[in-house]
């Protein structure tokens, strides 16, 4: 590995889930970019592209294998089954960290502008250990994605998580930052929150986002909800505190109700109807259910963490550095 920050070894990490339609075009563009960076002596000639197949059910792995056979710059990792985008990125980075000086992670559909890579590397050369990619706008997203993303980032900030709004998983990490990340062994993984938590010197690069050219989004609503829940619960116990506050509030309302009832009783107005009773039953019932749900979420996550199961393991590795595997 290089001693100084000039011409370091770059590993580009690309998570892929059912990307048979996108991966070939993307590989071609990434290879062009890598060759250009090597030719201009921005990165070392030992730089590589690592495709992480997140348990795809289509021909993705076959294509990665072929790309590997045809290009010595390409490596492949394969999960036995789908472990999710965050785990795929993490596996790629953890695999790469013994070989490289820094990694850049990017989605397989190359929606993120690969020409921003030079800017990432420049920030790294100037001393940053972590360079965050922040998207310029969300014009290419549908209204739903735009709204849900805005809501998500607002929620995260409210919950006390240190996060860059609109930061994507397009990011540069130095070997030092990766070593720090390796120390976090939580199952409930939310990289966008954990990485700022490392606290090493960092900077931000803005980039454009393009519409997806091939294939469909691999992020259905269910996966977005899981990501949001992971994000919030892994960073904050504020929701539990909110439950507590809600309890106090409900209690206060109860006390006021009792005073009100006593007043009615002694001053003999009509017996107040069942509507108010029914209403409090619903309000309280709802509050109780909600609170139980939030607590249950944390208990469940605690259970997942205490089991200490591996987050992933490789099923197959395609690499020419067999002596080091
Ligand atoms: N991805 C993955 N595992 C999953 C879902 C997605 O590795 O379970 C990868 C996917 O192949 C892509 C990246 O994560 O490289 C981002 O997914 P996508 O482009 O579908 O998300 P969107 O851009 O629609 O948010
Ligand atoms: Mg995409």
Convert 255-314 into a string of H (helix), E (strand) and C (coil).
Answer: HHHHHHHHHHHHHCCCCCCHHHHHHHHHHHHHHHHHHHHHHHHHHHHHHHHHHCCCCCCE
Distance CA 82, CA 94 (A): 18
Write down the pLDDT at residue 243: 84
Question: Contact at 8 Å (CB) between 60 and 16?
Answer: yes
Write down the pLDDT at residue 2: 45
Sign of the C-alpha dihedral, residues 186, 187, 188, 193? positive
Question: Contact at 8 Å (CB) between 47 and 11?
Answer: yes
Residue ID of nearest Cα to ligand 1 atom 17: 218
Q: In what order do the strands lie in the sheet with 74-79?
A: 202-207, 130-135, 167-174, 102-105, 10-16, 48-53, 74-79, 314-318
CA of 14 to the centre of ligand 1 (A): 10
The reply to whether ligand 1 has any atom less than 6 angstroms from the CB of 82 is yes
The reply to whether ligand 1 has any atom less than 6 angstroms from the CB of 53 is no
Atom of ligand 1 nearest to the CA of 19: 11
Question: Contact at 8 Å (CB) between 171 and 86?
Answer: no
Distance CA 180, CA 202 (A): 14
Question: Contact at 8 Å (CB) between 320 and 70?
Answer: no
Q: What is the pTM of this model?
A: 0.86
Write down the pLDDT at residue 275: 65
Q: What is the dihedral of CA 58, 59, 60, 66, to 10 degrees?
A: 170
Distance CA 287, CA 294 (A): 11
How distant, in Å, are the alpha carbons of 88, 148, 316 from that of 27? 17, 30, 19
Record the tokens describing residue 14, joined without a space: 């690309």
The reply to whether ligand 1 has any atom less than 6 angstroms from the CB of 16 is yes
Write down the pLDDT at residue 271: 61
In sequence order, the 6+-apart residues with CB closer than 8 A to the CB of 265 are none
Q: CA 242, 248, 254: angle at the middle one, nearest 5? A: 135
Distance CA 162, CA 140 (A): 26
Q: Which ligand is nearest to the CA of 216?
A: 1
The reply to whether ligand 1 has any atom less than 6 angstroms from the CB of 97 is no
The reply to whether ligand 1 has any atom less than 6 angstroms from the CB of 108 is yes
Q: Which ligand is nearest to the CA of 15?
A: 1
C-alpha 115: how far from chain center: 22
Distance CA 103, CA 126 (A): 16
Question: What does each of the 325 residues of the chain score in pLDDT, given as a tens digit?
Answer: 444 788 999 999 999 999 999 999 999 999 999 999 999 999 999 999 999 999 999 999 999 999 999 999 999 999 999 999 999 999 999 999 999 999 999 999 999 999 999 999 999 999 999 999 998 877 777 788 888 888 888 888 887 777 887 778 999 999 999 999 999 988 878 898 889 889 899 999 999 988 888 889 888 888 888 888 888 888 778 888 888 888 888 888 888 888 887 887 777 666 666 667 777 787 888 888 888 888 888 888 888 888 888 888 888 999 998 655 5
Write down the pLDDT at residue 269: 66
Beta-strand ranges (E) seen in the chain are: 10-16, 48-53, 74-79, 102-105, 130-135, 167-174, 202-207, 314-318
Q: Where are the domains of the chain?
A: 10-220+309-324, 238-307
> What spatial distance separates the first Cα and last Cα of the chain, rounded to whole Å?
17
Asked: is 10-220+309-324 a CATH 3.30.70.2740 domain? The reply is no
The reply to whether ligand 1 has any atom less than 6 angstroms from the CB of 319 is no
CA of 216 to the centre of ligand 1 (A): 9
The reply to whether ligand 1 has any atom less than 6 angstroms from the CB of 88 is yes
Q: Which ligand is nearest to the CA of 170?
A: 1
Q: Which of 13, 63, 85, 166 to mutate to test the pocket of ligand 1 (most atoms within 8 A of CB)?
A: 85
Taking residue 82's Cβ as centre, other Cβ atoms within 10 Å add up to 17
The reply to whether ligand 1 has any atom less than 6 angstroms from the CB of 219 is yes
Q: Which of 15, 26, 53, 144 to mutate to test the pocket of ligand 1 (most atoms within 8 A of CB)?
A: 15
In sequence order, the 6+-apart residues with CB closer than 8 A to the CB of 133 are 112, 116, 120, 167, 168, 170, 171, 204, 205, 206, 207
The reply to whether ligand 1 has any atom less than 6 angstroms from the CB of 15 is yes
């Amino acid at each position: 590995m290089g001693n100084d920050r000039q011409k370091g070894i770059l590993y580009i990490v690309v998570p892929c889930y059912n990307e048979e339609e996108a991966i070939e075009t993307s590989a071609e563009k990434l290879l062009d970019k890598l060759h250009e960076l090597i030719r201009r002596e921005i990165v070392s000639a030992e730089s590589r592209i690592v495709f992480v197949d997140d348990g795809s059910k289509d021909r993705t792995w076959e294509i990665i294998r072929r790309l590997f056979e045809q290009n010595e710059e390409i490596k492949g990792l394969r999960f036995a089954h789908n472990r999710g985008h965050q785990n795929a990125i993490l596996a790629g980075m953890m695999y790469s960290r013994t070989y490289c000086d820094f990694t850049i992670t990017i989605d397989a559909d190359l929606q993120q502008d690969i020409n921003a890579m030079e800017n990432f590397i420049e920030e790294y050369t100037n001393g940053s250990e972590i360079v965050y990619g922040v998207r310029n706008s969300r014009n290419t997203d549908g209204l739903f994605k735009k709204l849900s993303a805005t809501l998500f980032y607002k929620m995260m900030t409210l919950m006390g998580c240190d996060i860059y709004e609109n930061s994507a998983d397009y990011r540069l990490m130095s070997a030092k930052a990766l070593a720090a990340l390796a120390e976090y062994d939580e199952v409930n993984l939310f990289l966008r929150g954990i990485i700022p938590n490392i606290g090493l010197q960092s900077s931000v690069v803005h980039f454009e986002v393009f519409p997806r050219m091939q294939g469909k989004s691999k992020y259905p609503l269910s996966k977005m909800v899981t990501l949001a829940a992971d994000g919030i619960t892994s960073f904050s116990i504020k929701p539990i505190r909110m439950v507590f506050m809600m309890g106090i509030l409900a209690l206060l309302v109860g006390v006021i109700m009792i005073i009100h009832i006593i007043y009615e009783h002694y001053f003999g107005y009509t017996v107040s109807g069942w509507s108010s009773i029914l209403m409090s039953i619903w309000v309280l019932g709802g509050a109780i259910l909600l609170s139980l749900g939030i607590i249950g979420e944390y208990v469940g996550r605690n259970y997942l963490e205490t089991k200490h199961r591996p987050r992933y393991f490789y099923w197959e590795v395609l690499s020419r550095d067999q002596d080091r595997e």
